[in-house]
Structure 1
């Protein structure tokens, strides 16, 4: 097995998974804003905006569940079969999505988007695969490139939809089908067959007893969850509400927001390629530093003037990319014995959970002032950075006690 091919397969599948998640963003608004009522945008006589909100949220819900389950399932049945099943299943989900659009069937569309999200929650499996087979600086670099592929997908998805939508509303989804099937072939060729783990007997038992949240029974992993949840709540507050800040305080419209998002994604992608470089500074020290810098960038958007805020939005990509490259690599070293799939699943699931939490809180705070949710996000990320410093000391004391016991 060639290491470059292994990394390429993981990055390609991650890229396509996020492309699939972001694909409908430019497609859905016109469908639900159409003047002509049909069975799709007036299903059961419900308001189009309500139907639109459900259509947007159903895929992230699937991602949340998939991120929780697919990693532990890959610990039991192997990375290769889970990645193959998720890639081909997501391709089928996109095909059903295209069919639902042709039929103008809203229920089928919702079902297809949920299934697609469920199976596109396979980034923990790709992370675990790299963590299994790579070590040291190569592992850090590979995980950095994987994050770069993830960020690129959020840019490439809307871009793909915008460039191909003129040929037909279903064309972007059929392109995604072909690309995912190609990724499945690459995985089949690249990854060797694996023997299933003998520790559990069925996928249902794994889903019930070995999901990522079971790791919270371990005190150290529970601390990781609290820290990661606080940091990602800050990050998702930024992601979800800086476009609204751009409209209210920068006077931006859709095209301007798209360009700002493209610049942010480009910075995160480039930073991900640099984040894997070796350093003499301890990994958690670097993670803490970048968490503080990310919190400062979010705070500048919330407190600063328009021009400072615009610069902070783009520059936020640097610390966030480094944080997301360094933390999973450190977790792979520290907690890999719990199952790399489950550990990476916990990290990804926490991000999905933060999306839901901050969307709910933000919907209330923005009624008062959009800057409030950004300030709250900055405080949460800063607390996570502060807590990392204390947690690092606690882990060092724990390690010392274990050495003395031996």
Structure 2
């Protein structure tokens, strides 16, 4: 097994899973905010912003279901076959998405985005693959890189779209198609074939009984879910609607959105490089601090003037990248005995659930003012940061009690 190639393949898969979700961000706001009617922004005579919200939420819905299922299914059938099948299928989904834009078919666009999201819910499988095959500091560092790749995808996607739109509206999706096929080839080379499982359970039994949400029966993981849902609601409010804020408040177009995204992406990537380094500060204490900082940046976009908002968009990348490198690594160590695929699936699934909720709620609130959903998201993330502090104290008390009991 070639470890560097394995890590590179896992990070690329994680990156592309969210690049695909974020590709339309610079494409859709101008289309759905345009004064000129087309078959996309006036489907069935519905308000364009409502159609925009549905278009934003449908891919994360697929990601939500796919992440909940693919992680546990890879525990059953193996990482390699699940990754290869999902990457190849997602590539086909992007090709169909491109065609739906050419013919301006809104239902086909929605269907293609859903199926693509379903198959791109494989970031949890990539996480589990690294957790299986790496150990110690290398595993922590690799998971930090992978998590940086996951969240950078929400930034790289709009960047690719904005920079290539001049060549045609479908070009970003064809780039994603080719990239996924190449990455599938890397997985095939880097990850050795696994032994055939002798278990007799069907894929439907696995999907029904082993999905990531079963972990909510564990009290500690239920707390993790609640906290992560609140925090990521603020994150997705930022990701989903800062491009629309740039159009409405700052007067930006697709290329302007892409350049802002490039700056944010650079900060995220830089922060991710240092996120996995050892620290004397307890992980959850660091997680709480960076959650507060990220929430403050989102609030600044919603409450500040244009220049404050632009600075906050870029600054948001640093604390969010650190948060999303630290939390999964800590969860891998504490909850890995529940199954790495299922645990990582729960973390990813929570993010996608937040994305769906915020996209639908935001499609309504933006009819009043786009800044409202940003402020609402910031408040949820602030609550999550406060709750992390209480949860940390509860876990420390529990661990101390267990240690004292074992001492006798």
Q: What is the TM-score with the length of structure 2 in the denominator?
A: 0.87
RMSD: 2.9
Going from structure 1 to structure 2, the CA distance change for 1:378 and 1:28 (only over 3 Å counts) comes to closer
Match of 1:176 in 2: 176
Match of 2:329 in 1: 329
For 1:23-42, what aligned pairs fall within 5 Å after superposition? 23-27=23-27
**Offset of 1:321 from its aligned partner?**
0.3
Match of 2:357 in 1: 357
Say whether 1:13 aligns with 2:13. yes
The answer (yes or no) to whether the contact 2:54–2:360 under 8 Å persists in 1 is no
For 1:1-400, what aligned pairs fall within 5 Å after superposition? 1-27=1-27, 53-101=53-101, 105-165=105-165, 169-195=169-195, 201-247=201-247, 249-250=249-250, 252-366=252-366, 370-400=370-400
CA displacement, residues 308-354 of structure 1 (integer Å, 9 cap, x when unaligned): 33322211111100000000000000000111111111111111111
Going from structure 1 to structure 2, the CA distance change for 1:187 and 1:377 (only over 3 Å counts) comes to same
Going from structure 1 to structure 2, the CA distance change for 1:317 and 1:105 (only over 3 Å counts) comes to closer
Question: 2: CA distance between counterparts of 1:303 and 1:50?
Answer: 23
Identify which range, 314-323 or 155-164, moves more after superposition.
Answer: 155-164
Gapped regions of structure 2 (runs ≥ 5)? none
CA displacement, residues 60-108 of structure 1 (integer Å, 9 cap, x when unaligned): 2211211111111111111111111111111122233344455665444
Question: 2: CA distance between counterparts of 1:53 and 1:234?
Answer: 16
Question: 1: CA distance between counterparts of 2:313 and 2:30?
Answer: 27
Going from structure 1 to structure 2, the CA distance change for 1:66 and 1:388 (only over 3 Å counts) comes to same
**Offset of 1:205 from its aligned partner?**
0.9
Identify which range, 170-179 or 126-135, moves more after superposition.
Answer: 170-179
The answer (yes or no) to whether the contact 1:264–1:314 under 8 Å persists in 2 is yes
* Matched residue count: 405
Going from structure 1 to structure 2, the CA distance change for 1:196 and 1:326 (only over 3 Å counts) comes to farther
Question: 2: CA distance between counterparts of 1:175 and 1:375?
Answer: 34
**Offset of 1:244 from its aligned partner?**
4.4
Q: What is the TM-score with the length of structure 1 in the denominator?
A: 0.88
Going from structure 1 to structure 2, the CA distance change for 1:233 and 1:183 (only over 3 Å counts) comes to same
Question: 2: CA distance between counterparts of 1:37 and 1:296?
Answer: 38
Going from structure 1 to structure 2, the CA distance change for 1:157 and 1:231 (only over 3 Å counts) comes to closer
Identify which range, 125-134 or 154-163, moves more after superposition.
Answer: 154-163
Gapped regions of structure 1 (runs ≥ 5)? none
The answer (yes or no) to whether the contact 2:245–2:370 under 8 Å persists in 1 is yes
CA displacement, residues 168-222 of structure 1 (integer Å, 9 cap, x when unaligned): 5544433332221211111011112223666671111111111111100000000
Identify which range, 387-396 or 263-272, moves more after superposition.
Answer: 387-396
**Offset of 1:402 from its aligned partner?**
3.2
Identify which range, 223-232 or 311-320, moves more after superposition.
Answer: 311-320
Going from structure 1 to structure 2, the CA distance change for 1:29 and 1:279 (only over 3 Å counts) comes to closer
CA displacement, residues 338-381 of structure 1 (integer Å, 9 cap, x when unaligned): 11111111111111111222234434545555444333323322
Question: 2: CA distance between counterparts of 1:41 and 1:252?
Answer: 19
Question: 2: CA distance between counterparts of 1:58 and 1:11?
Answer: 24
Question: 2: CA distance between counterparts of 1:195 and 1:189?
Answer: 16
Identify which range, 315-324 or 164-173, moves more after superposition.
Answer: 164-173
CA displacement, residues 374-404 of structure 1 (integer Å, 9 cap, x when unaligned): 3332332222222222212222232233344
Identify which range, 94-103 or 16-25, moves more after superposition.
Answer: 94-103
Identify which range, 86-95 or 140-149, moves more after superposition.
Answer: 140-149
Question: 1: CA distance between counterparts of 2:142 and 2:7?
Answer: 6
Going from structure 1 to structure 2, the CA distance change for 1:323 and 1:158 (only over 3 Å counts) comes to closer
